Amino acid sequence: MTHRISFLISAALTCSATASFADVSAHDVWNNWQFFAQSMGQNYTARLEQDADTLVAYDVLINASDLAMDGMTLTGSLPRIMLQDLPNGTVKITIPESGTYITVIKGEPMLGFDAFEVRSTITMDNTVIASGTPNEISYNILPGTVTYGTEKQIKDGIAIVPEQMVTLLGVHGTTTAKIADGTLISGIDIQADAVTVESNGTTELATMESSFKAAPFNITAAFTNSTTAGNAPTDFMKSLEGNFSYGIGNTTFEMTNGDAAQMMHIVGETQEAQINATIADGSLTYAGTTTNTEVVVDGSAIPFPQIDFGVGTVEFGLTMPLLANSQPKPVGLKLAIDKLRLPEIAWMMLDPQDQMAHDPAALTLDLTGNMVSKIDLINPSAMLDLADGHEPFQPIDLMLNKLFVSIAGATLTGSGDAIFVEDVSKKFGRAPFETANATLSLTGGITLIDTLTQSGIIPPQMSTSAKMMLGIFARPGDAPDTYISDIALQGDALTINGQPLPF
């Protein structure tokens, strides 16, 4: 949602200010702005009229469908854009009335997914002062308010698109655009004093409401793309390189979902969050973090009066190719949760005798590797068009850089690596590896099993079985209550701690 709103705001602000520079007329600004719009895969048309020192663009039509994914069209309209020549050679740009954006999702009959459209309205009271030279443009967005509203869409008693109102207060910042040797070099640094999002998908059948408030909010970006790239999304992505960053300050959120029989209410707060993304050579690297999150859940949908939990930090990372490629490209997945405070009701159930360590839990999973992608992931229909029996991806190798789980005094760690077979589709139902190795270490596991058995959570028979499995698949480590498993796979031969499986 954040990326889509950012695109619409940037498109509207770009429409009003991208192509201004010193000592040029408003007509020059408009013509230059058209060039920039086309280089970004957009198309703008309007009826131009001169009114004294102001060029007025009436009935502006915005077609950004070439930037949208296959199966989607995105168009917009603005009643007026006013470009006023100022005595100092700069241009003042304003957008007096609200603009409308329509996103049409074509649907997919094979999946039972009907077409629908999303209608949105955007209003900006910012004034933009543009200046620079024809090949290096800078514009200053003066403080103002931006609102973005979406109409509710209901089908069969369910809101497929909720009514939504996004308000950005105190929006200000600068953007730059430079043309050099057929390349468009752009920069964005936009801030908002506060952001609120109110969403209502309530119907006669169910309640679905949410609110989100954050302060402050900022977007920074630096990217390049070819001015001669084709109009298809894949053409644009092939030439796009750069990085994007979203920073969100203190955030509060509230959600209410359910029906008359079962209702759930969630309230939470996050100290701050950061999202970073880099696009290069047709691949995406994404990283997000949140800090100090507290959540409270209540309502008739849960069997307890209230559940509250907290998380110190959450990190999520993803690396993947966006475009089809014949050569291996990096892939990666990282999830790290630190200082996860479980609800008190959970400890009352798991540890009624208060025998366990109630320290916050932690989880880290860090995977990297390489793969060949046979489809463009930005094209949703590519998966459907893939011939039967063909896999969309061919993994090459995989590294388990780190596995770490800590809860109730027990800790599991691990690392490993694997090489995939040349054609994973031929290994259906079997491990698709040529070779694989992993080392797992469990500390405090027996103590945890005994405690759970004493509290009645685990039956004695299950406790005995768990210990027997440890004896088969693990060897004692040097430290007390530590067990280690060295796992190796060579073709179809699997060994653990150097021994073949006993079955």
CA dihedral 415, 418, 424, 429 (to 10 degrees): -50
Query: In angstroms, rounded to a whole number, what is the distance separating the alpha carbons of residues 63 and 231?
Result: 11
Q: Is the pLDDT of residue 197 over 90?
A: yes
Q: 17 falls in which pLDDT band (50, 70, 90)?
A: very low
Q: Please give the pLDDT value at position 375.
A: 85
What pLDDT sits at residue 191?
Answer: 97
pLDDT of residue 72: 73
Q: What is the pLDDT of residues 223-257, one digit of tens each?
A: 988 777 665 656 767 778 999 999 999 999 999 99
What's the length of the chain? 503
Domains in the chain: boundaries:
409-503
Question: What percentage of residues in the chain have a pLDDT greater than 70?
Answer: 86
Mean pLDDT of the chain: 87
* pLDDT higher than threshold 50 for residue 261: yes
Peptide bond into 216 cis (omega under 30): yes
For tokens 């694997």, the residue is: 418
Neighbour count for residue 409 (Cβ, 10 Å)? 17
Tell me how far the alpha carbon of residue 139 is from its chain's centroid: 28
Helix (H) or strand (E) holding 216: strand 207-226
27-36, 39-48, 115-124, 135-144: least confidently modelled range:
27-36
Cα-based angle 232, 57, 225 (whole degrees, multiple of 5): 30
Q: What is the pLDDT, as a whole number, of residue 429?
A: 54
The residues, ordered by sequence, that sit 6+ positions from 116 with a Cβ below 8 Å of its Cβ are 104, 105, 107, 153, 155, 160, 161
Q: What is the pLDDT of residues 444-461, one digit of tens each?
A: 999 999 999 988 888 999
Predicted confidence (pLDDT) per residue in 57-79, tens digit: 999 998 876 555 556 778 899 99
pLDDT at 28: 77
The b-or-e profile of 475-497 (16+ CB within 10 A means b, else e) is eeeeeebbbbbbbbbeeeeeebe
For the beta carbon of residue 284, count every other beta carbon within 10 angstroms.
Answer: 17
CA separation for the pair 229, 235 (Å, rounded): 6
Nearest-10 crossing angle of helices 2-17, 26-39: 150
The pLDDT value given to residue 317: 98
Question: What pLDDT is stored for residue 7 in this prediction?
Answer: 43
